[in-house]
């Protein structure tokens, strides 16, 4: 298979688009129902498509129905579609279901990639119950560091009797037998918490800091509360919005602003939409899924506010933050401001000064700095 990461090189030029757990699962499934013609297969959490494309490539050509892949990240989807084409497969071989939608109908085989995000697995297993029967093969695949006793307990509690394979190349498989009598109840997601400002924050599974305000976000909001430099009627972009707590809080202080929420994660954007609906239902706002500020027009924003991620598809990196800073320069109007919170050691001020020609510290704590750059008029 020819598999590449997307965007190429983000997170490091030598990173691969698959891991040993993908290989282990594909080998295990050989000769199984997942590779047979006419069966319905669901793959979940498959960054860049190694499992999806591996199974598709092993099935009879143009086997119907299409394989269903359940994913959250916009970039993962773009990467998966590009890898599909690289391997001579057609878009019609695939049905993509986004994280906040539920797959429809019954499945003969379900393959879940187990990542460090246990909340998403818990939510998915609950939501899959109506789509599986005693005949469905349910397989989890993950690196040993992500497959814990608590992971196995989730499969056992929600699906049925569960065993795990021997570890191979630091990867492990999880085999669950569907117990039709088991009734684990509904998914506990979305979850809610209330901020010190009295706002209700709604988070779907897998969304950043879903049960409490993140420390960095708290420092960012403290800085903005003490130093509001946005013009009347400002268009504010909450970039990497997660559950929307930043944009919704600013809108609570300033009834005159409009907010656009952007995130690479469908679950994040759906969470922001839900958080907005609880707190400001009567006000218009915009919700966009995309990479950094790709979906935001040039010179259209008065402020971009961001607590940047420090990883891209599980790889630790500053690359996404750097792209966000570059994009903000493009999306902001003259006099528009970019406000970034980050760990001191991340050195965002150097990148911001290079992109904008200026940068100021507007707040700092022993761990975090909040920086502002302004587009020269």
Ligand X SMILES: C[S@@+](CC[C@H](N)C(=O)[O-])C[C@H]1O[C@@H](n2cnc3c(N)ncnc32)[C@H](O)[C@@H]1O
The reply on whether position 208 binds ligand X by CB under 6 A is yes
Exposure on the CB side of residue 340, measured as CA atoms within 13 A: 30
Q: Which residue's CB is nearer to ligand X, number 239 or number 374?
A: 239
Site for ligand X in 274-293 (CB under 6 A): 291-292
Q: Would you tell me how many other CB atoms lie within 10 Å of the CB of residue 102? A: 13
Does 217 participate in binding ligand X (rule CB under 6 A)? yes
Residue from 44, 114, 246, 251 that binds ligand X (CB under 6 A)? 246
**Do 351 and 370 touch, CB atoms closer than 8 A?**
no
Residues in a beta bridge with 363: 370
Q: Which is nearer to ligand X, 35 or 261 (CB)?
A: 261
In contact, 342 and 368? CB cutoff 8 Å: yes
User: Measured over all CA atoms, what is the biggest interatomic distance in the chain, rounded to whole angstroms?
Assistant: 67
Q: What token pair was written down for 47?
A: 């960054």
Q: Which of 118, 214, 277, 330 binds ligand X (CB under 6 A)?
A: 214
* Touching ligand X, residues 314-343 (CB under 6 A): 320
Listed ranges 178-186, 223-231, 263-271, 328-336: which one lies at the site for ligand X (CB under 6 A):
263-271
Distance (Å, whole) CA 328 – CA 260: 13
The residue from 76, 77, 93, 264 that contacts ligand X (CB under 6 A) is: 264
Residues 210, 222: Cα–Cα separation, whole Å? 19
Please state the closest distance from residue 74 (CB atom) to ligand X, in A: 8
263 binds ligand X (CB under 6 A): yes
Select from 42, 109, 171, 245 the one that contacts ligand X (CB under 6 A): 245
Cβ count near 133 (within 10 Å) = 11
Contact 39/59 with Cβ under 8 angstroms? no
Please say which residue, 159 or 219, places its beta carbon nearer to ligand X.
219
Asked if 126 contacts 184 with a C-beta cutoff of 8 angstroms, the reply is yes
72 belongs to the binding site for ligand X (CB under 6 A): no
The binding site for ligand X (CB under 6 A) comprises 75, 208-209, 214, 217, 240-242, 245-246, 263-265, 268, 291-292, 307, 309, 320
């Amino acid at each position: 298979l020819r598999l590449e990461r997307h965007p190429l090189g983000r997170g490091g030029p030598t990173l691969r688009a698959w891991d040993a757990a993908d290989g282990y699962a594909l080998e295990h499934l050989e000769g199984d129902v997942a590779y047979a013609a006419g069966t319905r297969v669901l793959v979940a959490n498959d960054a860049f498509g190694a499992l999806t494309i591996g199974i598709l490539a092993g099935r009879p050509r143009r086997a119907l129905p299409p394989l269903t892949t359940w994913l959250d990240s916009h970039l993962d989807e773009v990467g998966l579609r590009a890898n599909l084409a690289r391997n001579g497969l057609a878009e019609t071989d695939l049905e993509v279901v986004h994280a906040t939608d539920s797959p429809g109908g019954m499945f003969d085989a379900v393959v879940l990639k187990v990542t460090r995000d246990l909340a998403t697995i818990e939510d998915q297993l609950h939501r899959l119950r109506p789509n599986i029967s005693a005949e469905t093969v349910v397989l989890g695949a993950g690196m040993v560091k992500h497959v814990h006793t608590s992971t196995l307990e989730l499969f056992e509690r929600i699906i049925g009797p569960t065993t795990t394979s021997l570890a191979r190349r630091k990867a492990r498989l999880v085999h669950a037998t569907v117990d039709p009598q088991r009734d684990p109840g509904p998914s506990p997601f979305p979850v809610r918490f209330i901020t010190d400002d009295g706002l209700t924050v709604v988070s779907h599974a897998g969304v950043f800091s879903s049960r409490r305000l993140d420390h960095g976000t708290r420092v960012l909001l403290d800085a903005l509360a003490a130093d509001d430099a946005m013009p009347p009627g400002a268009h504010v972009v909450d970039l990497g919005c997660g559950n929307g707590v930043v944009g919704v809080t600013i809108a609570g202080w300033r009834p005159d602003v409009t907010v656009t929420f952007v995130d690479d994660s469908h679950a994040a954007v759906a969470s922001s939409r839900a958080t907005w609906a609880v707190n400001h239902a009567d006000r218009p706002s915009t919700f966009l899924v995309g990479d950094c500020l790709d979906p935001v027009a040039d010179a259209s924003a008065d402020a971009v506010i961001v607590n940047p991620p420090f990883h891209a598809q599980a790889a630790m990196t500053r690359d996404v933050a750097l792209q966000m800073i570059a994009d903000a320069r493009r999306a902001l109007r003259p006099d528009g401001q970019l406000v970034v919170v980050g760990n001191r050691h991340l050195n965002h001020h150097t990148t911001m000064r290079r992109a904008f020609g200026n940068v100021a510290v507007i707040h700092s704590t022993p761990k975090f700095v909040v920086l502002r750059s302004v587009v020269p008029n």
